[in-house]
Structure 1
Amino acid sequence: MASEKVLKYLNDTNRPYSCADITVNLRGAFTKTAVQKALDSLSESGKIRCKLYGKQKVYVAIQTEVEDCSNDVEDYDTQIKTFTDDITSKGNALKTAESSLKALTSAPTTDAAKTRIDETKSKINALETKLNTLRNSTEVVSADEKKIILDGHDKFYKEYRKRKRICLDMLEAVLEGYPKSKKNFLEEFCIETDEMVNFKVNAN
């Protein structure tokens, strides 16, 4: 009785179970001892198969009906390659979509772009107005005013050259008795020459 029920249960479920699992799944119809005896009997008679996993025995039904699947064998290598190519294609499409999304999110909105355009137009108009004013201006420097400006520049330039020469002569005189180099002297007394600060005065 127990053997029939246990065998039917294993064939119907077609899954491996331990004795404890079968006892519980048969909802207490038989004791664990009775189920174990049935399993041992069925295993010895070759109706089920017993496998040992560690210290636990697991029982599974033996499938006697084997379907002929030789005509249904698929080329799994080709199928895997198809799936791989599909994944690669979709991955590339995803990267393209992400790049497009990034470009769109970093671009200014329509309102922001209109604001920038309006600001740029305002600046252009202001510059054009200023340029037209300068082109149409009748205010020019007279020859006398130009001469005064150039004479003043020439006077101050000559004075600058004179004073620079005096300073350089004084520096050379001091360096004659200075034990170190000119560079050390300038650094020690925090002196900067025109060349050091890139100061230039253009003559007329």
Structure 2
Amino acid sequence: MASEAVLKYLTDTNRPYSCADVTTNLRGAYTKTAVQKALDSLSEAGKIRCKLYGKQKVYVAIQLDTIDGDSDIEDYDNQLKNLTQSIADRTNALKMAETNLKSLTSAPTTESAITEIDEIKKRLEKHEMKLNNLRSSTEIISADEKNKILNEFDTFFREYRKRKRISNDMIEAILEGYPKSKKTFLEEFCIETDEMVDFKIMSNS
């Protein structure tokens, strides 16, 4: 009879199958209608379990020596949901890490940025000192020479602001993945900001 064959197949395989699966796996020994009737009869008799996944019914044999297996079947949906969420979380984390890495690799290294900042500060201090000496000097200079000096100062001032902005952007990019505070980061890498050393420079405008 179809019921005996279907029950034996589900018991032997110990896996959930739909009516179509059982019909196919029994190699056409019984029609789909006969298999469906057998599954319904076995389910009503309590010999197999019927689970509804969406619009599809899935059947599984009740194994007397593995009662705990029923809870595993009931938990399939939760496991799938948790795994799907876990994959989504890891995918988002990977995208963020790739974005941070791209930002960091495209920016100057910490060492080169510090070196450039120090060099610019020295050049600015040198030119500021020269400018202050010229401003306080009673020696008359031509308008052209004065304009040349002021233009050079403006050039260096713009470069100073540009490099300072680059340095701040680089530090902020690093801090996105840095586990500690900005103050701790600056102390660990021996970085001094203009505000920390009270360095101020005024534009010529």
TM-score by length of 1: 0.35
Q: Which is higher, the Rg of structure 1 or of structure 2?
A: 1
Q: State the structure with bigger RCO (CA 8 A, min sep 6), 1 or 2.
A: 2
TM-score by length of 2: 0.35
